[in-house]
């Protein structure tokens, strides 16, 4: 497919630029630099700033499209059928903070999105850009949240979706994507096999947008909206500390990009912030690299219950190290047992039932506090990026009824629970 | 427990009044009329109206507490720990409308609530009122959504929850409540047994608020917020037709109450609207009564996959008949097969994956159109009250992969799906 720029409206986006060598190419379905093979990202010439930008945002809809002036999407995006994620709650976590000894803690709870994970944000932006670039089909390889988000967004947009999953995926997880009625291809292979197949198909099918492959630079920008929403919810202020789970690492680097943009555009004061990354020990290549003081990431073979974070060779790994080191944060990892404890702790204290990725983040928060890396007096935001309903197996052996009784008042009183 | 009114702040609520004989009692944990045993509901003397009320609402938070002046809750409710539901999306359903031949269709999607059902609304109001009335424990009998909502809301409020479930409930459904760490009592008995036990315990435990028993009048008011949100989302206008699922029937009658209040208070024009009720044929006592032209409801034994609607003896049944007949609506029911088709139709056209109750509503919408009871040209809102992730079994035999292939390009191309 040839990128056709004339007549294409991608808002303030003006080019794709290489994150390694800085070379620029025109906006289109490219994702690797033709000069150095480095990854591309969206570059902008923002048209609004300061009070004018803030007013435009605050007059916008209660979803991510209020930030359209900061995204690579058409100006009419809010009126085009899409999944319209965002405007999720920033919950003041007083109980959890008290339990951990944190004075000022918030949970950004992205389980409130349409398919209950932050993937709705990145898919919505990918869909908007892909449609503008002339793509006809929305596709992805995925084992979970991304598959749900692509199938749902495409359904609502009235276009075809093609989702590739491993054929040995649990039936429950197959149903959550199959429900939307798109094309669902089960592949006899592991995620690496499927990913490779997706790359091959993307090269063949000119009008298929694989959200996390050939339109990845647009897709990734969707995570910036997490930073925008947190800052706006706090009354246009950047929190002092943020803890973010790491899969590819893209979410973490884009939240940093979002904060940086807001400060540069005069929407928030340019106050210092520290970004912390969270991984499960069973897939902790970035944490290992951080602790070893390396600026590269050695791939690992994932073995953790936190499957939505189980990327052994994270594309944004080195950039995560850059961000964490630049801001004075850290990367930490926790065992699967700690992950489950994290899920239970968040549910018990705040009534938020998180996916395993959320358990990773809460457990890492606790560990960072225990080791003195996190300041307990600084305003802190942690991200819950998914929903516990999708990873029920993680707690299946850990929780259950307090008591089982006959249906009588005597039986109840005999439990001592009255 | 003696209701102590002095110093109690329940907003504009001034009394409980009998829905049968109109007798009034003071605000407190009463739910049956001492004169005639009729059900009680909250009576108000609203302090704000017209532009003043609208301005107060529009300056409020993005959750149900923006409507606090219209609810039986303390004036400081928004700053008290609670689950803070509401502000869910009103989705313009152009694809579904096109498929069914409806010109102007919306879906009020309550799966976006914290525990993904409308029960968060009623529980949040029950919690706020119960705390103000001096209760220390939040409790309920439930088999599903209500259990989730009570456990989550109590966790966030930092108070104890006690939830009663049948001991033979599927493990997946037990986990979704057990995750929050409250007291969970499994009872060897069916829902009727548990309900009876809850009533007995409520009579013994002075400081336990059973949300759907002794504080039911407050709890039920939470459903009015669905009406408020729909009207506000439409730019302060009442839609011409609404389709609402019926379990106890309380949601339907409270939506009617909400619209009536908005018109009386001058927030919307007093335009006519028709309210339609939706049931599964396997538990359709209200639909049967409607079709037979009766003003009473004969209890049935439920047998349907739509378990969240499976109340064989619906408390608000007669009032539903009143509302439907007064507004010129109807009640209709659909088979379990049609329910599953309804789930799939909504997911495929709008990317909204509904619980079985949502499938009931979509299928009834289609049936009402086919039989000419619904005007295809009138603005119509249907309610999706829950989330498909909680009723995956309903679609387990109906959807699945389109194809299963080896991980090669050739294998993919051989499917003919390229």
Q: Mark yes or no for CB contact B152/A196 under 8 Å.
A: no
Residue B204: give the domain boundaries. 134-214
Q: How far apart are CA A307 and CA A144, in angstroms?
A: 9
How large is the average pLDDT for residues A86-114?
A: 97
| Whether residue B177 is found in the same domain as residue B253 | no
B314-350 pLDDT per residue, tens: 999 999 999 999 999 999 999 999 999 999 999 999 9
List CB contacts (< 8 A) between A193 and chain B.
407
- Within 8 A by CB and 6+ apart from A6, the residues are none
3-state secondary structure of B352: coil
Q: Which of A193, A214, A235 is the last residue of a domain?
A: A214
Measured between CB atoms, which of B179, B399, B406 is closest to A179?
B399
| Whether residue A207 is found in the same domain as residue A226 | no
Residue A18 inside a domain? The answer is: no
| Whether residue A274 is found in the same domain as residue A210 | no
Residue B22 inside a domain? The answer is: no
CA distances for A320 relative to A219, A258, A290, A402, angstroms: 18, 14, 9, 43
- Within 8 A by CB and 6+ apart from A125, the residues are A64, A71, A72, A73, A218, A219, A221, A222, A225
B371-417 pLDDT per residue, tens: 999 999 999 999 999 999 999 999 999 999 999 999 999 999 999 99
Q: How far apart are CA B360 and CA B286, in angstroms?
A: 14
Q: Which long-range contacts (CB under 8 A, 24 or more apart) does B56-64 make?
A: B57/B228, B57/B232, B57/B267, B62/A62, B62/A87, B62/B86, B62/B87, B63/B87, B64/B121, B64/B124, B64/B125, B64/B222, B64/B225, B64/B229
Q: Mark yes or no for CB contact A400/B174 under 8 Å.
A: yes
Q: Mark yes or no for CB contact B401/A178 under 8 Å.
A: yes
* A184 lies within 8 A of chain B by CB: yes
| Whether residue A250 is found in the same domain as residue A314 | yes
Residue B37 inside a domain? The answer is: no
Q: Which of B273, B150, B171, B260 is nearest to B215 (CA)?
A: B150
CB pairs under 8 A between A and B: 227
Contact A245, A286 (CB under 8 A): no
- pLDDT bin (cut points 50, 70, 90) of residue B7 is confident
List CB contacts (< 8 A) between A106 and chain B.
none
List CB contacts (< 8 A) between B179 and chain A.
343-344, 347, 353, 388, 395, 399
Q: Which two tokens stand for residue A71?
A: 């995204």
Q: Which two tokens stand for residue A209?
A: 């947008």
Q: Mark yes or no for CB contact B174/A350 under 8 Å.
A: no
Compute the CA torsion angle B115, B121, B123, B127 (nearest 10 deg). Answer: 120
How large is the average pLDDT for residues A132-159?
A: 96
Q: Mark yes or no for CB contact A403/B181 under 8 Å.
A: no
Q: How far apart are CA B5 and CA A290, in angstroms?
A: 60
How large is the average pLDDT for residues A169-197?
A: 92
3-state secondary structure of B342: helix
Between vectors from CA A267 to CA A261 and to CA A270, what angle results, nearest 5°?
70
List CB contacts (< 8 A) between A81 and chain B.
94-95
Q: Considering chain A, what is the average pLDDT of its residues?
A: 96
Measured N-to-C along each axis, helices A317-327 and A250-264 cross at an angle, to the nearest 10 degrees, of 50
Measured between CB atoms, which of A89, A178, A180 is closest to B351?
A180
Exposed (0-12), middle (13-18) or buried (19+): which is B372, by Cβ within 10 Å? exposed
Q: How far apart are CA B404 and CA B96, in angstroms?
A: 29
List CB contacts (< 8 A) between B90 and chain A.
none
* A194 lies within 8 A of chain B by CB: yes
Q: Which of B214, B234, B252 is the last residue of a domain?
A: B214
Q: Mark yes or no for CB contact B181/A153 under 8 Å.
A: no
Q: Mark yes or no for CB contact A352/B165 under 8 Å.
A: no
Residue A183 inside a domain? The answer is: yes
List CB contacts (< 8 A) between A387 and chain B.
389
| Whether residue B337 is found in the same domain as residue B198 | no
How large is the average pLDDT for residues B300-311?
A: 94
Residue A28 inside a domain? The answer is: no
Measured between CB atoms, which of A62, A343, A349 is closest to B62?
A62
Residue B59 inside a domain? The answer is: no
Measured between CB atoms, which of A112, A193, A402 is closest to B183?
A402
| Whether residue A315 is found in the same domain as residue A200 | no
* B396 lies within 8 A of chain A by CB: yes
Q: Can you give the pLDDT at residue B6?
A: 64
Q: Which of A394, A383, A350, A352 is nearest to A277 (CA)?
A: A383
Q: Can you give the pLDDT at residue A170?
A: 86
Chain B interface test: which of A86, A112, A179 (most B C-beta within 10 Å)? A179
- Calculate how close chain A gets to B116, using CA atoms only, in Å: 8
A279-294 pLDDT per residue, tens: 999 999 999 999 999 9
Chain A interface test: which of B347, B349, B388, B407 (most A C-beta within 10 Å)? B407
Q: Can you give the pLDDT at residue B3?
A: 42
Q: Residue written as tokens 């299963």?
A: B404
Q: How far apart are CA A195 and CA A176, in angstroms?
A: 20
How large is the average pLDDT for residues A180-194?
A: 92
Q: What is the DSSP string of A47-112?
A: S--HHHHHHHHHTS-SSGGGGGGGSSS-TTGGGS--------EEEE-HHHHHHHT-SSEEEEEGGG
Chain B interface test: which of A340, A343, A407 (most B C-beta within 10 Å)? A407
In chain A, which among 297-356 make CB contacts under 8 A with chain B?
343-344, 347-353
| Whether residue A250 is found in the same domain as residue A356 | yes
Q: Can you give the pLDDT at residue A3?
A: 42
How large is the average pLDDT for residues B298-318?
A: 95
Q: Mark yes or no for CB contact B187/A406 under 8 Å.
A: yes
Q: Considering chain B, what is the average pLDDT of its residues?
A: 96
List CB contacts (< 8 A) between A172 and chain B.
392
| Whether residue B183 is found in the same domain as residue B246 | no
Residue A292 inside a domain? The answer is: yes
| Whether residue A258 is found in the same domain as residue A315 | yes
* B79 lies within 8 A of chain A by CB: no
> Residue B5: is its pLDDT beyond 70?
no
Q: Which of A360-364, B90-94, B172-176, B226-230 has the lowest mean pLDDT?
A: B172-176
| Whether residue A267 is found in the same domain as residue A170 | no
Measured between CB atoms, which of B154, B178, B353 is closest to A401?
B178
Q: Mark yes or no for CB contact A387/B389 under 8 Å.
A: yes
CA distances for B249 relative to A28, A47, B2, B253, angstroms: 53, 52, 29, 6
3-state secondary structure of A18: strand
How large is the average pLDDT for residues A26-30?
A: 92
- pLDDT bin (cut points 50, 70, 90) of residue A143 is confident
Q: Mark yes or no for CB contact B115/A353 under 8 Å.
A: yes
Q: Mark yes or no for CB contact B201/A155 under 8 Å.
A: no
Q: Mark yes or no for CB contact A176/B392 under 8 Å.
A: yes
| Whether residue A349 is found in the same domain as residue A288 | yes
Q: Which two tokens stand for residue A114?
A: 């349409």
Q: Can you give the pLDDT at residue B14?
A: 96
Other Cβ atoms within 10 Å of A367 Cβ, number: 18
> Residue B1: is its pLDDT beyond 60?
no
Per DSSP (E only), the strands in A125-251 are 137-141, 160-166, 183-187, 208-210, 241-245
Domains identified in chain A, total number = 2
> Residue A2: is its pLDDT beyond 50?
no
CA nearest to B354 within chain A: A179
Residue A33 inside a domain? The answer is: no
Phi-psi region of A376 (alpha: psi -120 to 50; beta: other; left: phi over 0): alpha
* B184 lies within 8 A of chain A by CB: yes
CA nearest to A137 within chain B: B418
Chain A interface test: which of B351, B352, B388, B407 (most A C-beta within 10 Å)? B351
- Calculate how close chain B gets to A267, using CA atoms only, in Å: 22
Q: Which of A104-118, B5-19, B267-281, B297-311 has the lowest mean pLDDT?
A: B5-19
- Within 8 A by CB and 6+ apart from B372, the residues are none
In chain A, which among 122-161 make CB contacts under 8 A with chain B?
151-156, 158
| Whether residue B266 is found in the same domain as residue B245 | yes
Q: Mark yes or no for CB contact B95/A158 under 8 Å.
A: yes
In chain B, which among 86-105 make CB contacts under 8 A with chain A?
87, 89, 91, 94-95
Between vectors from CA B373 to CA B369 and to CA B378, what angle results, nearest 5°?
70
In chain B, which among 56-75 make CB contacts under 8 A with chain A?
62
Q: Mark yes or no for CB contact B351/A156 under 8 Å.
A: yes
3-state secondary structure of B280: strand
Q: How far apart are CA B124 and CA B144, in angstroms?
A: 16
* A402 lies within 8 A of chain B by CB: yes
B134-155 pLDDT per residue, tens: 999 999 999 899 999 999 999 9
Q: How far apart are CA B84 and CA B77, in angstroms?
A: 10
Q: Residue written as tokens 């003041």?
A: A92
CA nearest to B404 within chain A: A186
In chain A, which among 197-216 make CB contacts under 8 A with chain B?
197, 200-201, 204-205
CA nearest to B348 within chain A: A180
CA nearest to A398 within chain B: B179
CATH number at residue B373: 3.40.50.1100
Q: Which of A146, A213, A148 is nearest to A182 (CA)?
A: A148
Q: Mark yes or no for CB contact B184/A400 under 8 Å.
A: yes
Contact A151, A222 (CB under 8 A): no
Measured between CB atoms, which of A89, A94, A389 is closest to B176?
A389
List CB contacts (< 8 A) between B348 and chain A.
155, 180-181
Q: Can you give the pLDDT at residue B143?
A: 81
- pLDDT bin (cut points 50, 70, 90) of residue A418 is confident
- Within 8 A by CB and 6+ apart from B104, the residues are B97, B377, B378, B379, B380
């Amino acid at each position: 497919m040839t990128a056709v720029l004339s007549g294409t409206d991608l808002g303030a986006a003006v080019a794709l630029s290489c994150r390694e060598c800085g070379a620029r190419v025109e906006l289109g379905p490219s994702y690797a630099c033709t000069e150095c093979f480095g990854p591309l990202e969206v570059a902008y010439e923002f048209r609004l700033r300061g009070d004018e930008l803030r007013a435009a945002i605050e007059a916008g809809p209660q979803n991510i499209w209020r930030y359209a002036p900061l995204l690579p999407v058409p100006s009419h995006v809010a009126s085009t059928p899409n999944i319209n994620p965002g405007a999720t709650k920033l919950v003041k976590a007083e109980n959890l903070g008290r339990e951990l000894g944190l004075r000022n803690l918030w949970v950004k709870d992205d389980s409130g999105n349409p398919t209950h994970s932050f993937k709705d944000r990145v898919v919505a932006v990918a869909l908007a850009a892909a449609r503008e670039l002339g793509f006809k089909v929305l596709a992805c390889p995925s084992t979970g949240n991304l598959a749900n988000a692509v199938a749902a967004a495409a359904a609502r947009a009235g276009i075809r979706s093609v989702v590739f999953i491993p054929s040995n995926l649990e039936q429950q997880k197959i149903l959550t994507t199959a429900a939307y009625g798109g094309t669902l291809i089960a592949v006899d292979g592991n995620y690496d096999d499927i990913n490779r197949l997706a790359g091959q198909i993307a090269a063949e099918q000119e009008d298929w947008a694989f959200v996390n492959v050939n339109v990845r630079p647009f897709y990734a920008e969707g995570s910036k909206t997490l930073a925008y929403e947190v800052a706006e919810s706090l009354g246009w202020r950047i929190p002092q500390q943020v803890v973010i789970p790491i899969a590819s690492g893209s979410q973490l680097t884009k939240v940093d990009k979002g904060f940086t943009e807001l400060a540069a555009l005069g929407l928030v004061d340019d106050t210092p912030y520290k970004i912390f990354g969270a991984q499960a020990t069973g897939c902790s290549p970035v944490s290992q690299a951080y602790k070893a003081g390396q600026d590269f990431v050695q791939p690992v073979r994932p073995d953790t219950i936190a499957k939505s974070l189980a990327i052994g060779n994270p594309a944004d790994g080195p950039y995560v190290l850059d961000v964490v080191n630049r801001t004075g944060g850290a990367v930490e990892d926790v065992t699967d047992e700690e992950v489950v404890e994290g899920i239970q702790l968040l549910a018990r204290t705040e009534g938020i039932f998180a996916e395993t990725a959320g358990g990773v983040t809460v457990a890492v928060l606790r560990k960072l506090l225990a080791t003195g890396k996190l300041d307990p007096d600084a305003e802190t935001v942690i991200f819950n990026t998914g929903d516990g309903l999708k990873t029920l197996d993680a707690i299946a052996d850990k929780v259950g009824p307090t008591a089982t009784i006959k249906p009588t008042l005597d039986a109840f009183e005999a439990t001592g629970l009255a």
